[in-house]
Chain A
């Protein structure tokens, strides 16, 4: 891509990327417009696909609603998305979880990725500046 385009779209790219992975159960807060009013709506489900790169990155969230499978595709960098909250990190050995479409009930549940969910709660890594002493707590 032309570097001038990369620069142009860089202002639209969200700096704080949502730390999401395939297999995560997430709650997506989407802004929707009804006439002139604007309100937020939550959508909860499992991420089965992350596709594309840059401004074009999308993720697909699947949930089963009243016995019918629903999949919604979101642009990661869309201003419509207020936030993406990870409720549970699932363990997955695939990049695309299409096999969940053929499953129902308990079989759709993924094993929890304990490492990922613990890592999120850990304090952030401190990178010491050069020539500065950092206190290390055991």
Chain B
């Protein structure tokens, strides 16, 4: 028995920054402003030809010299702009007919006010961090002769197993990894300016490329 494929519409956008917004009741709510990318369909993968149904979309238009020859040739052949970023998402085979190469994805399906979305992106890099910041470990005492202020503590037993177990949490680089924030409420969507306002914070610095999807809890009611 095959598992049903998870199909979720995906659109790409850019984080512009945070501000606040006064709703109809007059309450100030914190919002993040996202600018939607071009989201033009660059390729359609069919079960007959590729073995699965998927749609590839592009964002982040670049100059000719900033793309390598294979990518450039692929896009030029289809008469598409120079997308620096391509992303693919699975769809149901029956839905494929509604997509056409060179046309933007219909984002109005998920971006209505009060809809919930999941937003993924690369988080801000925090550098090499210790156990306290990275894994919320507790620090040692600051006084009474203690010197283990922010030490990692014991990392395992002695003779048995005589080694550090794989996967042991240690101080390491923090951030700069893919993070998803779930169930952000859409506050407003300006279709002409392609500006999307969601309640709350999203990962990454301003200018980060983000993936916006319908909230997973809503996906399969």
Question: Which residues does A use to contact B, with CB under 8 Å?
Answer: 1-2, 4-5, 8-9, 12, 31, 33, 55-56, 75, 77-80
Given known A9-B19, A55-B19, A55-B20, contact A4–B35 (CB-CB < 8 A): yes
Task: Decide: A78 near B28, CB < 8 A? Known: A2-B206, A4-B195, A12-B21.
Answer: yes
Interface range on chain B: under 10, 10 to 19, 20 to 34, or 35 or more? 10 to 19
| Centre residue among B16, B25, B28, B33 by max chain A CB count within 10 A | B28
Report how far A54 CA is from B20 CA in the complex, Å: 10
- Which of B33, B190, B197 is in CB contact (< 8 Å) with A2? B33
Identify the closest chain A residue to B207 (Cβ). Answer: A2
Q: Nearest CB to that of B32 among chain A residues?
A: A5
In the assembled complex, 19 residue pairs joining A and B whose CB atoms fall closer than 8 Å, in A order, are A1-B17, A2-B16, A2-B17, A2-B33, A2-B206, A4-B35, A5-B17, A8-B19, A8-B190, A8-B195, A8-B197, A9-B21, A12-B21, A55-B19, A55-B20, A75-B28, A77-B22, A79-B22, A79-B26
For B190, the chain A residues whose CB sits under 8 A away are: 8
Residues in chain B near residue A80, CB distance under 8 A: 26
A12 in contact with B22 given A2-B33, A5-B17, A5-B33 (CB within 8 Å): yes
B189 to chain A, nearest CB (A): 12
Among residues of A, the one whose C-beta sits closest to the C-beta of B16 is: A2
Chain B proximity of A74: nearest CB distance (Å): 11
Interface residue ranges of B177-208 to A (CB < 8 Å): 190, 193, 195, 197, 206
A42 to chain B, nearest CB (A): 17
Chain B residues positioned under 8 Å from A75 (CB to CB)? 22, 28
Q: In the complex, which residues of chain A have a beta carbon less than 8 angstroms from the beta carbon of B35?
A: 4
**A4 lies within 8 A of B206 (CB):** no
Binary interface profile of B, 12-32, with partner A (CB < 8 Å = 1, else 0)? 000011011110011010000
Closest approach, in angstroms, between the C-beta of A75 and any C-beta of chain B?
6
Q: How far is the CB of A36 from chain B (nearest CB, A)?
A: 12
Bound together, the chains give a CA A31 to CA B16 distance in angstroms of 32
Interface centre among A8, A56, A78 (most CB of B within 10 A): A8
The residue on A at minimum CB distance from B195 is A8
* Given pairs A8-B195, A31-B26, A55-B19, 10 additional interface contacts (CB within 8 A): A1-B19, A2-B16, A4-B35, A4-B193, A8-B190, A8-B193, A8-B197, A9-B19, A77-B22, A80-B26
Tell me how far the C-beta of B205 lies from the nearest C-beta in chain A, rounded to whole angstroms.
12
Minimum distance in angstroms from B15 CB to a CB of chain A: 10
CB-based contact B20/A5 at 8 Å: no
For residue A115, give the distance in angstroms from its CB to the closest CB of chain B: 34
Q: How far is the CA of A18 from the CA of B19 in the complex (A)?
A: 22
List of 3 A-B pairs having minimum Cβ-Cβ separation, nearest first: A80-B26, A79-B26, A2-B16
Q: With A and B bound together, what is the CA distance between A33 and B25 in angstroms?
A: 8
Taken together as a complex, chains A and B put the C-alpha atoms of A80 and B195 apart, in Å, by 25
